[in-house]
Amino acid sequence: MTAASNSKFSRREFVAGAAGITLAAHSGGRAEPGAIERPNILFILADDMGWGDLSCYGRPDYKTLNLDRLAQQGMRFTNAYSAAPVCTPTRVGLLTGRFPARIPVGLEEPIYGRKELGDRAKTIGIPHEHPTLSSLIKGAGYETALIGKWHLGYLPDFGPMRYGFDEFFGIMSGAGDYFSHKDPSGAPDLFDGEVPVERVGYTTDLLTERAVEFVRRPRKKPFYLSLHYTSPHWPWEGPDDKAVSDAIQYGPAGFRAGGSIKVYGEMVKSLDRGIGQVLAALRSAGLDGNTLVIFTSDNGGERFSYSWPFTGQKMDLHEGGIRVPAIARWPGVTTAGKISDQPLITMDWTATMIAAAGGKPDQKFALDGEDIASFLAAKRSPFDRTFFWRTRRQGAMRNGKWKYIREGKNEFLHDLSVDEREQANFGAAEPQILAKLRAEFDKWEAGVLPYTAI
């Protein structure tokens, strides 16, 4: 992949020319005169949302009016991918800008609960010396915050504020009950900074309220807010399902029980309302004209998702497990209402946000993502990409229209231009292409770390 620094024009030229709007002009007079011409950055991550779970992507049984409006105001991508088919490794890809397979200590699978890990929790997390999206943007002079789900390690060793976030409000583990705010083991799991706290309310609403408060603050710096909602991840509880929470049986089986298509819809609609409130706060603060807003999901959907025409779901490397919704709005840069089939992956957002902030990647930790700002600005034509994925039981890559999947000794070659459902194996008909992709995958795998289970 092309490194972020290889875009067709310099980062400084792009930030000053394409964005071209000062914070002082768009912050209600609250920024200092001569504020830096760099955008605020709002990155919104849904949890386990399938490719088709927004009405602008085809969901037939409910409407997501706020995210649909965001898509109308910006660009909507139909070939966006997550770095992995499950929570933790995609968040690794986002924070590091690199394939999760490059990061040691077994972060290619979800991190277990704190109780399950025991003393091993002291060893599992992104190495502290590794630069991150948040540390690089903070180093560029931004105020940084993570509101929502972390799932990249546990306190005291691997909390968000050890990786460049000025503040944190949310859950540390992979899932939390939406009303009791306990993790699957029944332990309290809501933190403000590194302090456990108790709050009354539905998690989606609490995260929204904190994000709105953050956006409205007077400030002298541009901000980077990573808003990682826990919705629509299990346990499946809508905003009116307090009784479900009261009756929940703690433990992974209990957390994953129940739910329905209707409940799932209520969760997504609640998420959409919350995002609408945060976007409204941007407008009321006079900040939306100079804020890059990105929305996507950490992986494909699960049992109640709508992912037509794809097969597979969360935990699987077929398209349904890794193809995700993605929307970007950057006033003065993106073209309103544009729909793009340009392939992109989680780490591209990392490279793009670092570049937009005027940051610079550490050359010792080269990014696997690509700064796509020039494409967002319609200054670059669509281009082919090569992506790689790996899980405990599968390996996969996409190269242009071709998708290669390996499951044990079985190999599959799919032509996504005619078979997005991955039903036909073109391996026998295209042996040279199969051999080429097999060799490319083997070369990539030899260049990353050996797979290590947590």
The identity of residue 22, as a single letter, is T
Q: Which residues of 49-66 are buried (b: 16+ CB within 10 A; e: fewer)?
A: bbbbbbbbbebeebbbeb
Output DSSP code: residue 160.
G
**What whole-number distance in Å separates Cα of residue 143 and Cα of residue 226?**
11
Q: Locate 84 and state its tokens.
A: 């992995």
DSSP letters, 396-408, are EEEETTEEEEEET
Residue with tokens 């290669």: 404
Packing angle, helices 261-284 and 65-73, rounded to 10: 50
Q: Beta partners for 227?
A: 44, 147
Alpha helices in 6-81 (DSSP H): 11-14, 65-73
Q: Which residues of 410-428 are buried (b: 16+ CB within 10 A; e: fewer)?
A: ebbbbbbeeebebeebbbe
Q: Locate 181 and state its tokens.
A: 């705010």
Name the 3-class secondary structure at 161.
helix
Q: Locate 338 and state its tokens.
A: 């544009």
Nearest residue to 158 (alpha-carbon basis) of 111, 102, 228: 111
Residue with tokens 């996969």: 396
Q: Identify whether 160 is preceded by a cis peptide bond (ω within 30 of 0).
A: no
List phi, psi (to 5°) of 44: -115, 125
Q: Identify whether 156 is preceded by a cis peptide bond (ω within 30 of 0).
A: yes
Cβ neighbours of residue 240 closer than 8 Å, sequence gap 6 or more: 266
In residues, how long is the chain?
454
Residue with tokens 């999901």: 297
**What whole-number distance in Å separates Cα of residue 83 and Cα of residue 255?**
25
**What whole-number distance in Å separates Cα of residue 371 and Cα of residue 91?**
18
Known catalytic residues are 87, 151
| CA Rg value for the chain | 21
Our measurement of the distance from residue 310's CA atom to the centroid of its chain's CA atoms, rounded to an integer in Å, reads 20
Our measurement of the distance from residue 453's CA atom to the centroid of its chain's CA atoms, rounded to an integer in Å, reads 22
